[in-house]
Amino acid sequence: MKASMIKLAAAAALLTVSCVSASAADAEFRAFIGKLWPQAAAAKVKRETFERAFAGVNEPDSAVLKMADNQPEFTSTTSQYLLKAVTPARIETGRAMLGAKVSLLSALENKFQVDRHILLAIWGMESNFGQDKGSMGVMRSLATLAYRGLRKNYARPQIIAALKILQSGVVPPRRFVGSWAGAMGHTQFIPTSYLSFAVDWTGDGIRDIWGSEADALASTANYLAKSGWSSSRPWGWEVALPANFDRSLIGRAHPRSIAEWKKMGLRPRNGDFGRAETKAFIILPQGIDGPAFLVTQNFNAIMAYNESHSYAIAVGHLADRIRGQGPIVAQWPDQNIELSFAERVEMQKRLIRRGFPTGGTDGRFGARTYEAILAFQKSRRLNLDGVPTRALLVELRKGG
């Protein structure tokens, strides 16, 4: 009996401590939100708007932090990402939308000169054609990211932009929902992008990316057009590299005209280059043994929407599939890297220190890391195999 009572007392004490800790955390979070007010006031946000925006936002959202650390476009290989992003159902729906939205898509293409298939691909990727626009409170998500985690610099300007959106009255607080990152509507605009690029296509005085497919797709077309999209070129092609190809020419630092690439023996895996009079560069999203892509400035315009090679390839490829083209031809290799996670991060850091940018130090090897490896190998007159081995790491360690 005494032992049971002791256990109950201990449990009660633990529960009390937990509740106190939770209350303290909530109080800290609310205090943090309060400290955002001077910045909001400086941006001419009304106090009423500020209070209304954060009403009921009393604690951080742990789900937001979990999702922030596990973005599939940054944590998966490109092949894994494409398997989930470019699905038969999404291709079929995209093709159905080509007919169902033909008048709207034609008008948008005429106005913004952005490929309708790309617009449909982004719509499909971002919200599954409006079926999943997100249900997380934008203000709570952004406050959580600003309060804790690695995205504080991202979240603070988004909070101010979100407050301005609420103050404009285009959307009531109850509909102000989106993804864990505060991305909203049919094509998942973050608040700053909404303020810069959203379009009132329907002419009702509201840039309604939440309820209007037309406004959302027009806003996306406007975003891409202002990010450098041109109707004179495609996003890119899957290409076959000739056996004797100079691998030092791989990467964004080595753009060439299509005519020059053709002279070097590059050929599209599907069809031909067509009337492409543009410069393009080669990317290898999963290493030298995987598919190779020759991509244009339009690829960079997609990356302005989401800074991930995997995302941009998925959008381009989904657009091609909606258009009626076939699947990627080359086989994706298994990414069996012999380095530990810590060694992969170390390799990326050492490459960056030597002037070969990898696009980050997250331990995930994508197109930029492979480009950096090839550039380093060339600088040391090593075999240009682009393979991240332990021997390469030893070479990088030489000289500090």
CB 190 within 8 A of CB 183: yes
Question: What pLDDT score does 70 carry?
Answer: 64
Residue by residue, pLDDT tens for the chain (400 residues) are: 344 443 344 444 443 433 434 445 589 999 999 999 999 999 999 999 999 999 999 999 999 988 887 665 555 789 999 999 999 999 999 999 999 999 999 999 999 999 999 999 999 999 999 999 999 999 999 999 999 877 889 999 999 999 999 999 999 988 999 999 999 999 999 999 999 999 999 999 999 999 999 999 999 999 999 999 999 999 999 999 999 999 999 999 999 999 999 999 999 998 889 876 789 999 999 989 999 999 999 999 999 999 889 999 999 999 999 999 999 999 998 877 788 888 988 999 999 999 999 988 888 888 889 999 999 999 999 999 888 899 999 999 987 6
pTM score of the predicted model = 0.87
Q: How far apart are alpha carbons 344 and 242 in whole angstroms?
A: 29
Q: Which residues have C-beta within 8 Å of that of residue 187, sequence separation ≥ 6?
A: 122, 123, 126, 127, 209, 216, 217, 219, 220
- Every domain of the chain with CATH number 1.10.530.10 lies at 236-323
Q: What's the topology of domain 236-323?
A: Lysozyme (1.10.530)
Burial string for 131-143 (b: 16+ CB within 10 Å, else e) reads eebbebbbbbbbb
Question: What pLDDT score does 176 carry?
Answer: 95
Give the chain's count of helices (H) and strands (E). Answer: 19, 7
End-to-end CA distance of the chain: 65
Question: What pLDDT score does 74 carry?
Answer: 53
Nearest to 305 by CA among 166, 101, 119: 119
Question: What pLDDT score does 315 carry?
Answer: 98
- Rounded to 5 degrees, φ, ψ at 182 are 80, 15
Nearest to 179 by CA among 231, 137, 123: 137
Q: Which residues have C-beta within 8 Å of that of residue 173, sequence separation ≥ 6?
A: 52, 53, 55, 139, 166
Question: What pLDDT score does 24 carry?
Answer: 53
DSSP 282: E
Q: Which residues have C-beta within 8 Å of that of residue 155, sequence separation ≥ 6?
A: 142, 143, 145, 146, 182
